[in-house]
Copies of this chain bind each other. A is one copy, B any other.
Amino acid sequence: MALDNPTLQKPVTTADKVFDAILHAIVDGKIAAGSKISEPGLAKQYEISRSTLREALNRLEKCHLIERKANVGSRVVDCTIEGLLEIYVVREALEGMACREAAINMSDDEIAEMQDMLAQHANSQALIDGISYYQEEGDLDFHYKVILGSHNQQLINILCGQLYHLVRMYRIQFGMHSPRATRAFQEHSNIIQAICDRDGELAEILMRRHIAASRKNIEKKIALQNSTAA
C-alpha cells in the first residue's frame, strides 16, 4: 500500500476529487495515452460543469500528464521511449541531489523509519518469491522517503508533485517489472547506509548509479525488443 500522494493534501473541493479520478484514469491507462480530451464529454461523464473540469485539467497539466494548445484542446501525453529516457535523466539529477540533501537533513528518527521500511521489505513475501511487488510498490516508497528526507520543498514539489505521476504512468503502461528486484534492494540498502553515515557525497553517487542502472536496463530491453522485431 504505497502512498500515491506523498504530499497528502486531501481533496476538499470537487475539482480536487475529479482531478484525482482523472489522474488515476490516465496513469492506469483507462484514458489512453495520446488521446484527445473532450471537455464536454468528460464533464458529462463526471457530472460536473465544464468550469470545474477545466480546473481539474489545469492541475493535470501541472503534472505534465496532459498538454493544452490554445483554441485546440487538451491531449493526454503519449508514452514514448524518448520521453521515458528524458525522465530518467531528470530523476538521476534530482534524486541524486535529494539523496545528498537527505544525508544532511534527515532526522535520526526519519532514518530509523526508513531502515524499518527496508527491513519490512526484506521480509516481504513478494521479495522472497522474487516477484515484482517490490519493484512496483516498495521501490516507490523508498524513493519517496528519500525525496521527502531532503527537506527541500522545491525538490519535493517537482519530484513528488509532478514527475512521479509520469513515472507511475510509464511503469504501468510499459509494464515495467524487471528482474532487478533483489539487486535494487541491495542498492537501496547501500544508499540508506550512506545516508545513515551522513555521507552526502556517496549517497548522491549511489543514488545516481541506482537510477542510471534502471535506465540502462530499459535501454537494453528496448534494444533487445528492436533487434527481435527486426
Contact residues of A with B, CB < 8 Å? 12-13, 16, 51, 54-55, 58-59, 61-62, 64, 70-71, 83, 86-87, 89-90, 92-94, 96-97, 101, 152-155, 157-158, 162-163
Contacts and interface: CB of A to CB of B under 8 A. Distances in A.
B61 A12 contact: no
A62 B158 CA distance: 11
B12 A154 contact: no
Nearest to A101: B89
Contacts of A94: 90, 93-94
For A64, A92, A93, A155, the residue with the greatest tally of chain B CB atoms inside 10 Å of its CB is A93
B13 A89 contact: no
Contacts of A155: 86, 89-90
Q: Report how many copies the assembly holds.
A: 2
Contacts of A92: 97
Chain A interface mostly: helix
Given A58-B58, A62-B61, A90 B13 contact: no
Contacts of A154: 64, 83, 86-87, 89-90, 163
- 3 tightest CB-CB pairs across the interface, nearest first? A93-B97, A58-B58, A93-B93
Contacts of A157: 64
Contacts of A83: 153-154
Contacts of A12: 70-71
For A90, A155, A157, the residue with the greatest tally of chain B CB atoms inside 10 Å of its CB is A90
18 contacts: A12-B70, A12-B71, A13-B70, A16-B70, A58-B59, A61-B62, A64-B154, A64-B157, A86-B153, A86-B155, A89-B97, A89-B155, A90-B94, A90-B97, A90-B152, A90-B155, A93-B94, A94-B94
Nearest to A163: B154
A92 B155 CA distance: 12
A23 to B, nearest CB: 16
A101 B86 CA distance: 10
